[in-house]
Each structure stands twice: as C-alpha cells, then as structure tokens.
Structure 1
Amino acid sequence: MASIRVLFREAEIAARVEALAGEIVQAIPGDFVMVGLLKGAAFFVADLARALDRAGACPEIEFLRLSSYGLATASSGEVRLLGDLPSGIEGRRVLLIDDIVDTGRSIAFAAASLRERDIGDLWTCALLDKPQRREVEVRIDFIGFQIEDVFVAGYGVDHAEKYRHLPYIGIVE
C-alpha cells in the first residue's frame, strides 16, 4: 500500500472548483457541453457542474473514455479511445475536462477527436497541470492547480486504479 502525503485538502479543491466555475462562466456565456475524460475527471466534472450551476450556467455533460496508462505510473505514449465519441455535439460549444495534464497526449487526442465531429468552439480545463512533463503542445484554458513533476492520487486521480476515492489530492511516496 502506497503512502500518500496531502498536497491539496478537500476544502482547497472545493474553493478552487468554485473559482474555476466563475472564470468559465465569464469566458463561456450561454450553452455549452462539458466533456469529461474518464475515469479520472469524473469527480471533478461532477463538482464543477454543480459549481457552474451556482454560477449561473446550465451545461450538458458527456464523457469520453481514453486509455494511456493502464496499471503503470508512466504513460505508454499511446492514447486509445475506449467506446465512442458523444453524439449530438456537432456545432456545439465544448468544454473538454481532464483531471491532470502532464504529457498532453490525452487531452490533445480528445480535442482532435472532438474537432473531427465538427464541434463549435472548444475550451480545455484541467484540475491539475504538470507543464514540465509536456511532450505535446496543448493550450489549457482553465487550470485548477499547477504542480511539480510528482506522482499524485486522489479526487479521481488514480495510482494503478486505486485511491480515486480520496477526497484530497496527495503525493504518492
């Protein structure tokens, strides 16, 4: 069992999610579709959707399931779509949401896949950003927290499919 040292407490995450919702509503007025990347972003999408509602938005919610890690602690470098893309998003404005952006491969793959569906404007949002690990150039429009190159788990982020349930984000030691 891994030892996990708290990096962001539950209250810190909640406050940042509320602030992000305010930033998003200012930048994306009107209708849009949230597309969360599974499994990691599920907790973040749920909390962000409720925060967006409190900020006056009423987004639709869709999900994409990608795979690039499996049970490893480093990306395989190959991103695969598991399942299909959301239907009915052609021409719609989309907010693509990931739990953590490190190499940039997953969010870049998801964005390209969505653009192939002729969506409208696309914005990106990540709870955690690890810019030092970037291998693919991507723009993240809304960032919860920027972190160093450490392996984290909790609040949806996993370590070999464990620890997603934690209400905080911690460094796996």
Structure 2
Amino acid sequence: MRRGTASAGEAMMDAITPDRQLITMIDARQQDLVGYLRTARPRGSRLAVAGIIFSGASAAFTAGPAFGGPGFTQTVTDLVGLQQTSIVWQVLCLMALIVSVATTVTINLANSQQLSSRVAAAETCSAELDGLRTLIDFGQIPVGEAARLYHGYVSKIGFIPTVR
C-alpha cells in the first residue's frame, strides 16, 4: 500500500459512527456534571452548616437574658466592668439581630439558587447517562432511540453550562 493512501477498511475505522459520536457527547456532558457537582455539593453543605450555626448563635444570644433575666445581665455587667446593665441587653440584642439577618440571607441564598434540587437533578442525569452509555456500549439500543433519550436527560440540566 502506498503511503498517504488509506484502504477502505482504514477509512471506515477512521470515520466516526453515530454511536461513537453520541458516546463522545455523553462523556463530555458527564464531565460537565462532575465539574458542577464538585462545586455545588460543597456550596450547598456550607450554606446549610452556616444557616445552622447562625440560627444557633441567635438563640444563644437571646437565651441568657431570656432564662437568666436581670440576674444574668447584672452578672455580665459586673464581669465586664460596665456601668449599666442596659449595655449588655443592647449588645446581646444587636448580636442576635446580626446573626438572625445572616441566617435569613444564608437560607435565602440556598433557596434562591435551588441548590438541593439542582444537585439532585445533576446526580439523576449522571446516573441516566451512565445507563445510556452502557446500553450503547453493548448494542442494546438503536442510536436514534439513544439520541432521543440523551436529549431528554440533558434537557433537565440546562442550568449546567457546557465546557467545550
């Protein structure tokens, strides 16, 4: 065979078949999903933990005066060396206000980004694409049907950008 000339068999092997093309698309989308989940899961966890911590801090700032009453504030006033107990009340109320606002912002950030539902959709899509890839690899599904399923699966994750 002459150099630079491909035989018919070699040309067929070099041609990308529709099933191989679909597998390439699945692999690329799976990489997009991995990248998204790598950042979204920890972000969701951080927001949830921050919300719990802020909520607990808010309760802690109000618990002393609520349960201890004037005796609590007088003890804190004496320990810190303040002149008036009202300063203790003001500081505790201000701190409770700050962490309550932080709690509200944190929870609303998590809800507005719909992190938990988006992570669940991405995980579901990843599992569906894994299954589809297996069906294609073992020749258990026609390419047209596989392409239709692929489109249905990825249409649920339009919020995940493609990185190509």
Q: TM-score, normalised by structure 2?
A: 0.20
| Greater Cα radius of gyration, structure 1 or 2 | 2
The structure richer in strand per residue is 1
Q: TM-score, normalised by structure 1?
A: 0.19
The structure richer in helix per residue is 2
**1 or 2 for the larger relative contact order (CA 8 Å, sep ≥6)?**
2
